[in-house]
Amino acid sequence: MGEVSRDLLRQIRKIEIVTRRLVDQQMAGQYHSVFKGRGMSFDEVRAYAPGDEPRFIDWNVTARTGTPHVKRFVEERELTVLLVVDMSGSMSFGTTRAEKREAAAMLAALMGFSAISNGDRVGLVAFTDEVEVFVPPKKGRKHVLRIIDEVLSLEPKRRGTRLSAALEFVGQVTKRKSVVVLISDFLDDGYERAMQIAARRHDLIPLSVSDPAEEVLPDLGLVLLEDAEGGDLMALDAGSSAVRDAWGASVQARLGARDRMLSRQGVTPIRVSTRDRDYAAPLLNYFRLRAKRA
């Protein structure tokens, strides 16, 4: 085993330890309360106990035995969770404690371990401007570790971003309503129609990953910026407050337009930054707000 492989294994193991602790202590219950199963199915008839709902009394069994009995139902779970992860060139950017791609791996692990702890299946769609890898949904710890490995180690063939291609692929591989977790920096356009269709068919959860330097341009003087996906170069005077202000205003305008578009589809983006020390916090906050609304 080479040095790179050992480093990767250590990274995967570290992500597993951190995320499984968070899942066990905080996320699994919140996940269960937000993502309901497909319905309730009959399990058994048992003797009535104080506190049971009178509407569940089985009158036939009660009449036959002479003592009250109630029907017991259990939730049919086994949801399908698809982690749709952006692997484009811009996801390799990071100026703080992690690249956006590492943050994406952590978020995928949090959602993956939450899903399997509730008996659900998890799959992966890794994409650039085309689908690079599809891992069909399955259960189990080893399967989630494989997904984390794919996100961290995949060397994509392409560097662009096309969200519509990934969302259209999801529509092809799963006809049943699923939980679709879209993890991306959303540096793309022309995907509104695909987003609308996906949000109508599935429970769509957009996780928007960013780096602080993308939103607030540092005061570095004259800099040469390279487009991580297209390779274009642009000279910029980052020492000018006017330039930095214009940069920030442009970013906020783009984010605002994106959030308004998603809101029209009935979905709320969850913003995660590479500077965050606790990637679970934005997810937990979203779960709590959603459970309260429900």
Q: 236 or 137, which is more confident? A: 137
Angstrom distance (rounded) from CA 123 to CA 144: 8
Q: Is a pLDDT exceeding 80 seen at residue 132?
A: yes
How many C-beta atoms surround the C-beta of residue 156 within 10 A?
19
Q: Is a pLDDT exceeding 70 seen at residue 75?
A: no
Angstrom distance (rounded) from CA 66 to CA 144: 51
The answer to whether 186 and 162 are in contact (CB under 8 A) is no
Give the per-residue pLDDT at 294. Answer: 65
Q: Is a pLDDT exceeding 80 seen at residue 211?
A: yes
Give the per-residue pLDDT at 2. Answer: 40
Q: Is a pLDDT exceeding 90 seen at residue 11?
A: no
> For the residues 186-208, what does the mean pLDDT come to?
95
Q: Is a pLDDT exceeding 60 seen at residue 291?
A: yes
> For the residues 234-244, what does the mean pLDDT come to?
88
Least confident span in 7-11, 141-145, 238-242 = 7-11
Q: Is a pLDDT exceeding 50 seen at residue 215?
A: yes
Sequence length of the chain is 294
Q: How far is CA 42 from CA 51, 76, 281, in A?
A: 19, 10, 36
The answer to whether 96 and 275 are in contact (CB under 8 A) is yes
Q: Is a pLDDT exceeding 70 seen at residue 277?
A: yes
> For the residues 10-38, what does the mean pLDDT come to?
84
> For the residues 158-184, what does the mean pLDDT come to?
95
Domain definitions of the chain by residue range:
39-76, 77-293
In the 3-class helix/strand/coil scheme, how is 37-66 assigned residue by residue?
CCEEEEEEEEECCCCCCHHHECHHHHHHHC
> For the residues 203-226, what does the mean pLDDT come to?
90
Q: 76 or 107, which is more confident? A: 107
Strands ordered across the beta sheet of 131-138: 131-138, 121-127, 80-86, 179-184, 203-210, 270-273
The answer to whether 270 and 205 are in contact (CB under 8 A) is yes
Write the CB contacts of 21 (distance below 8 Å, at least 6 apart in sequence).
none
Angstrom distance (rounded) from CA 203 to CA 54: 33
Give the per-residue pLDDT at 76. Answer: 58
Selection from 213, 216, 211 nearest residue 244 by Cα: 216
Query: Which residue intervals of 129-240 are DSSP H helices?
Result: 141-153, 163-173, 192-201, 212-215
Kindly give the pairing relationship between strand 233-237 and strand 222-226.
Answer: antiparallel
> For the residues 136-155, what does the mean pLDDT come to?
95
Confidence label for 39 from pLDDT (cuts 50, 70 and 90) = low
Torsion of CA 39, 34, 140, 210, to 10 degrees: 140
CATH number listed for the domain at residues 77-293: 3.40.50.410
Q: Is a pLDDT exceeding 70 seen at residue 38?
A: no
